[in-house]
Amino acid sequence: MFGKKKNPNKIKQGSKAVDVIFYLLALSVCLITLYPFYYVIIMSISDPMEVAAMNVYWYPKGLYFGSYQLIMRDIKMWKSYLNTIIYVLSGTFLNCLTAVLGAYPLSVKNLYGRKWIVRFLIIPMYFGGGLIPSFLLMNKLGLYNTMWVIIIPGAVGIWNIIMVRTYFMGIPEALKESAFIDGANHLQLLFKIMIPISVPILAVIAIYTIVGIWNSWFSALVYLPNEKLHPLQMYLYRVVVQQSVDLKQLSFDDASKAVERMLSNIQLKYSIIVFTTLPIIFTYPFFQKYFIKGVMLGSLKE
């Protein structure tokens, strides 16, 4: 006789139509984000004549890998690859080491002036001396036009120190106290207990550092006039932006000269972009599970 009384506290499910709209929007964003890189890939493997005529949009027209064969013969590019690997390995190691050594003292609660030191460290995160003072400093220190000018200035990351400190402060104090009771000192506590259980945050710092160094080119543009020391991204900058590298001269045998005449310089640029970008893309899946944790540790904890 009477209608069923509605529960005002009942959780209402969203409309399916709205869900479909959100899914379509998310799919559209993904397509818009991924299409530029997909376009670069299909342009790099399509027929050179189709690429020169700009007829490639949605799928590769013809298959041609000759541009990659030419790039593989470029000695300067492989030298830049080696330089980048050196910069990445040394920079990642130093960033992880300095982050741990800087964060551990700041995580000790009875350290006098700990909060003031943390606040002082935040200042250089937002304010710097500028390009000219930095250039003069690198020159006075004798780092100009050497590999060390890329490695040393980026060896300390204040944001990394803050993230590791936040992670250290989340470790139970009982674990630290038990280590001291067993006779451990601060160095033993740090290297035998704190670091082994801090692999997630160190992995986050590692991937951030790897991506940052791999994609860096401006420091080399300012501090490294010697092309033999240039990283890979600086070589790519010279090819795509400055156009100071003639990619058509990468081959030397007579059999490929006819093909080189057909190759457009545009396709070679697309090919080298793909060739230099894929390694860092393949790095992400190995660290993906640590990304959310790294973002959650971004807040300051006093």
The residue-averaged pLDDT of 140-154 equals 87
Sign of torsion over alpha carbons 157, 230, 272, 76: negative
Q: What is the pLDDT of residue 158?
A: 85
| pLDDT tens readout for residues 8-65 | 555 556 567 777 888 888 888 888 888 888 887 877 777 776 666 677 778 777 777 7
Calculate Rg over the CA atoms of the chain: 26
| Per-residue DSSP letter, 255 | G
CATH class of the 68-302 domain in this structure: mainly alpha
C-alpha 210/C-alpha 207 separation (Å) is 5
C-alpha 171/C-alpha 166 separation (Å) is 9
- Confidence label for 300 from pLDDT (cuts 50, 70 and 90): very low
Domain range summary for the chain, segments of one domain joined by +: 14-64, 68-302
C-alpha 61/C-alpha 85 separation (Å) is 34
Instruction: Enter the tokens of residue 85.
Output: 């690997």
